[in-house]
Amino acid sequence: APCSVDNATDMERVSPLWLGIGISGTLILILLVTETLLGRWGAILIAGEFDAFAKVSSGPLRDLRIAIVHCLQAGYLPAAFLYVLQTSRRTVFVLKDSLDCTTEECETLADSIRLNPRWLLLIGLIAVTVSIAGPYIVPPVPVAPWDPTTWSSEVVWHRLLGPVTQVWAWWLGFAVVVVSVRMSNIARKLSSINLLDLSPLTPFTQLGLTNALMLIGSLSIWSLMTLETGFGAMMIVIGGTTLVSSAVALLLPVRGVHQRIRQAKDAELGWVNGEISSLRNQIKSKDSRAQSGDLADLVAYRGLIDGVHEWPFTTSTFTRLFLYALIPVASWGIGIVAEEIIGRMLF
């Protein structure tokens, strides 16, 4: 089980993409081979059942498709978990100049982003407990959903991978929170803030968008469940929770940046207001060194500083987040079209 980022070098060598593809691909291959060896295809490929819009409440084909979704999640979630940890470490080094730290100091900061093993264990146990309730809230509810003697070969995959995917989903959410809070704390170590150029702070925003995308990616796979009947209520809960969590994932890493910008802004406004007051007094006292043009420049500068946004977001940030939120809808639509095409090819 993942515990920390102590073995940073080994972690960086692992590709999240190939990890996810390897796990999901292997599981799906085993699933298909098992179905073949058990001679299940005759029962699965029943004419008329393969209909994207059919009100099918049960059947081996439905169970097979749900098993495939579990296989996809079983690969995606560990990959996303690893990617979140890798991205947080890389972000620290990208911010090296802004943090004004040496390579060794940046390495120490990156290594400080740890996941407590005890918390992981506790969260895992909670996730397993929650997963047990799954079969009881998705109709049709079996008489004894956790009685192995009642499981078909497809349902075996649901029951085994269900708790596993729940654990990884909760771990992913936990990793996003820990990484985001730690990066927010690191932001408070920023040596200086250039209020006229906030682009060096973009990595914090990028990290928030990445974390949100990882959560929404999981929802995109779960949304394939809605091709089957009985998952409406569950998907409303999962979808609502994920979208809210994605917004939080975007905000958490930049909370510290927001505070540093506000501090720098208050300090700069305090200085310029002092200068304006001093220059105004000089002008009123007929001091020959004071010029009205200088006062106008200071007032213009104060307006410029006052207009600096305290959150490092741009229009493109919210546009990307909106487009990310559409990915589950697109995934669902593609799933319907693909299922219809395969159905026409087979029947």
Condensed to tens digits (0 to 9), the pLDDT of residues 271-283 reads 999 988 888 777 7
Residue 290 has pLDDT above 60, yes or no: no
The confidence band for 289, taking pLDDT boundaries of 50, 70 and 90, is low
Under the banding of pLDDT at 50, 70 and 90, the label for residue 6 is very low
Interior/surface letters 262-286, b for 16+ CB within 10 angstroms, e for the rest: eebbeebbeebeebbeebeebeeee
pLDDT classification of 224: cutoffs 50, 70, 90: confident
pLDDT at 5: 40
Asked whether 200 and 97 are in contact (CB, 8 A), the reply is yes
> Sign of torsion, CA 284 286 289 292?
positive
Q: What is the mean pLDDT of residues 54-68?
A: 73
Q: What is the pLDDT of residue 193?
A: 85
Q: Provide, rounded to the nearest whole percent, the portion of the chain with pLDDT above 90.
A: 37
Cis, peptide link before residue 148, omega less than 30° from 0: no
Give the per-residue pLDDT at 48. 45
pLDDT given for residue 124 in this prediction: 95
The pLDDT of 101-130, averaged and rounded, is 89
State how far the Cα of 48 lies from the Cα of 253, in Å rounded to an integer.
50
User: CB–CB of 224/238 below 8 Å?
Assistant: no
For the cut 90, the answer to whether the pLDDT of residue 206 exceeds it is yes
Q: How many residues does the chain have?
A: 347
CB-based burial of residue 15 (10 Å sphere; 0-12 exposed, 13-18 middle, 19+ buried)?
middle
Secondary structure (3-state) at 176:
helix
The pLDDT of residue 229? 62
Structure tokens at 321: 């987040």
Q: What is the pLDDT of residues 74-114, one digit of tens each?
A: 999 999 999 999 999 899 888 888 887 888 888 888 888 88
Does a cis peptide bond (omega within 30 degrees of 0) precede residue 200? Answer: no
More confident residue, 309 or 295: 309
Alpha helices in 95-152 (DSSP H): 96-99, 103-111, 117-132, 134-137
Averaged pLDDT for residues 281-306: 76
pLDDT at position 57: 53
Contact 205, 237 (CB under 8 A): no
CB 204 within 8 A of CB 253: yes
The single residue listed with the structure tokens 């929404």 is 216
pLDDT, residue 8, reads: 56
pLDDT of residue 101: 80
Q: Are 84 and 179 in contact (CB under 8 A)?
A: yes
pTM for this prediction: 0.85
Distance from C-alpha of 223 to C-alpha of 107, rounded to nearest angstrom: 39
Q: Which residue has the higher pLDDT, 225 or 120?
A: 120
pLDDT recorded at residue 100: 79
| Separation CA 207–CA 203 (nearest Å) | 6
| pLDDT the model gives residue 164 | 96
Side chain identity at residue 290, one-letter code: A
Average pLDDT over residues 11-17: 83
3 has pLDDT over 60: no
The pLDDT score that the predictor gives to residue 76 is: 96
- pLDDT for 56 equals 46
Amino acid at 323: L
Between 10-14, 30-34, 203-207, 293-297, the lowest mean confidence (pLDDT) is in 10-14
Please give the structure tokens belonging to residue 165.
């995917």
**By C-alpha distance, which of 297, 95, 315, 92 is closest to 193?**
95
CA distance 85 to 10: 12
DSSP state of 112: T
| Mean pLDDT, residues 155-178 taken together | 94
Mean per-residue pLDDT, 35-43: 85
Structure tokens at 135: 């079969």
